[in-house]
Chains A and B, each alone.
Chain A
Amino acid sequence: MAPPNTDRKDWPLFEIFIRPKNGLSHKHVGSLHAADARMALDNARDVYTRRGEGVSIWAVPAASIAASDPSEKASLFEPADDKIYRHPTFYDIPAAVKNI
């Protein structure tokens, strides 16, 4: 048997964002592997837009995303839970105003 090819490296991971239609923002849909950005866009087209899901694709190297640490969840997010006054729910909205 031939020795295993130790040169083989996995392609870098890309996170894929798709804009479902004009006017909406890009939404994260998943991730994939690709050798470079152009291949990431092609692969995203084939993997995530086969059923007419989108009008625009962003491919972002996963290594470029700065993510919050899950272990800091309590200190980062829980303080907001008991500050209901930050929600604009105390205003009377005139009936004539729509789309709020």
Chain B
Amino acid sequence: MSTDRQQALFGYALRLGDTSLVLGHRLSEWCGHAPELEEDIALTNVALDLVGHARLLLSYAGEIEGKGRDEDRLAYRRDVFDYRNHLLAEQPNRDFGHTIVRQFLHDSWAVELYGRLAASADPTLAGIAAKAVKEVRYHVRHSADWLIRLGDGTDVSRARVADALERLWSYTGEMFERDAAEDTLVAAGIAPDPAELRTAWNTRVAAVLEEATLDRPTDGWMQKGGRRGEHSEHLGYLLAEMQFLPRAYPDAVW
């Protein structure tokens, strides 16, 4: 494999892995706090699925990089500016409606991505995606169902999800960005075309928002930077909590 291709693939796996890890950690913060016991278990199930995807993707990233970094090393020994996750994933939970909106916007992207990535020319990515897509199909069913219930629900639930949509909309553009490295992966049939993902995402989001009787915010200026390591202040706090134990007790084992 050429060094350029290798570098591009490493970056690609890292971005996907980091996004899953950070979002999975965010959802895990609901453990013991969700509005209903059943929903508590549902949210933490999704969190575990996402951390599972992150493990596979970060392990693969470390393997491609070839510098002996494993999943734990990548997850626990990098600081904010080395993380490559979408800014959407690191946004705080706020209320349940806000969490559901964040999750739905992400899930709608992830289900389109992994569905296509399962046919990737890279057999490892294809394998990871084939496993992930089954879980992500359930995630999007869960978050879409809730968005419809809350949007088409009471005045309070409706106001909260409408507010979250406005608040989070500017973070959705980053999911469809592309750079030169990714262009080579798209051309090689390794990564799906972000433009195609955007079309499919728009269709899905529009259908669910309509059923939820919510207005789609207008596309305006979009936040960017997460994919290059420029993050909001929230990620530092998240990593401080997530990385505390391995930082304080290096090489601790179960």
Shortest Cβ distance from B137 into chain A, in angstroms? 12
Q: Which residue of A lies closest to B36 (CB)?
A: A33
Enumerate chain A residues within 8 angstroms of B45, measured Cβ to Cβ.
Answer: 46, 50
Enumerate chain B residues within 8 angstroms of A50, measured Cβ to Cβ.
Answer: 45
- Residue contact A42 to B142, C-beta cutoff 8 Å: yes
**A76 contacts chain B at the CB level, 8 A cutoff:** no
**B145 contacts chain A at the CB level, 8 A cutoff:** yes
Enumerate chain A residues within 8 angstroms of B138, measured Cβ to Cβ.
Answer: 45
- A33, A34, A38, A47: the one within 8 Å of B41 (CB): A47
The distance in angstroms between the C-alpha atoms of A3 and B149, with both chains bound, is: 25
Chain B interface residue count, CB cutoff 8 Å, equals 12
- Residue contact B38 to A46, C-beta cutoff 8 Å: yes
**A91 contacts chain B at the CB level, 8 A cutoff:** no
- Residue contact A32 to B149, C-beta cutoff 8 Å: no
0/1 per residue, B122-162, Cβ < 8 Å to A? 00000000000000001001100100010000000000000
Enumerate chain A residues within 8 angstroms of B142, measured Cβ to Cβ.
Answer: 42
The distance in angstroms between the C-alpha atoms of A42 and B143, with both chains bound, is: 11
- Residue contact A33 to B38, C-beta cutoff 8 Å: yes
- Residue contact B38 to A43, C-beta cutoff 8 Å: yes
**B64 contacts chain A at the CB level, 8 A cutoff:** no
- With A43-B42, A47-B41 as known contacts, state yes or no: A38 contacts B36, CB within 8 Å: no
**A90 contacts chain B at the CB level, 8 A cutoff:** no
Enumerate chain B residues within 8 angstroms of A32, measured Cβ to Cβ.
Answer: 37-38
- With A11-B36, A33-B36 as known contacts, state yes or no: A42 contacts B41, CB within 8 Å: no
**A37 contacts chain B at the CB level, 8 A cutoff:** no
Chain A interface residue count, CB cutoff 8 Å, equals 13
Shortest Cβ distance from A62 into chain B, in angstroms? 15
- B38, B141, B145, B149: the one within 8 Å of A47 (CB): B38
Restricting to A25-83, which residues have a CB under 8 Å from any CB of B?
32-35, 38-39, 42-43, 45-47, 50
The distance in angstroms between the C-alpha atoms of A29 and B218, with both chains bound, is: 47
Q: Which residue of A lies closest to B141 (CB)?
A: A42
Enumerate chain B residues within 8 angstroms of A34, measured Cβ to Cβ.
Answer: 38
Shortest Cβ distance from A63 into chain B, in angstroms? 18
- A11, A33, A38, A45: the one within 8 Å of B145 (CB): A38
Enumerate chain B residues within 8 angstroms of A46, measured Cβ to Cβ.
Answer: 38, 41-42, 45
The distance in angstroms between the C-alpha atoms of A35 and B142, with both chains bound, is: 14
Q: 26 A–B contact pairs at CB < 8 A? A: A11-B36, A32-B37, A32-B38, A33-B36, A33-B37, A33-B38, A34-B38, A35-B149, A38-B145, A39-B145, A42-B42, A42-B141, A42-B142, A42-B145, A43-B38, A43-B39, A43-B41, A43-B42, A45-B138, A46-B38, A46-B41, A46-B42, A46-B45, A47-B38, A47-B41, A50-B45
Extra contacts besides A32-B37, A42-B145, A46-B38 (18): CB < 8 Å? A32-B38, A33-B37, A33-B38, A34-B38, A35-B149, A38-B145, A42-B42, A42-B141, A42-B142, A43-B38, A43-B39, A43-B41, A43-B42, A45-B138, A46-B41, A46-B42, A47-B38, A50-B45
> 3 shortest A-B CB distances, which residue pairs?
A43-B38, A46-B42, A46-B41
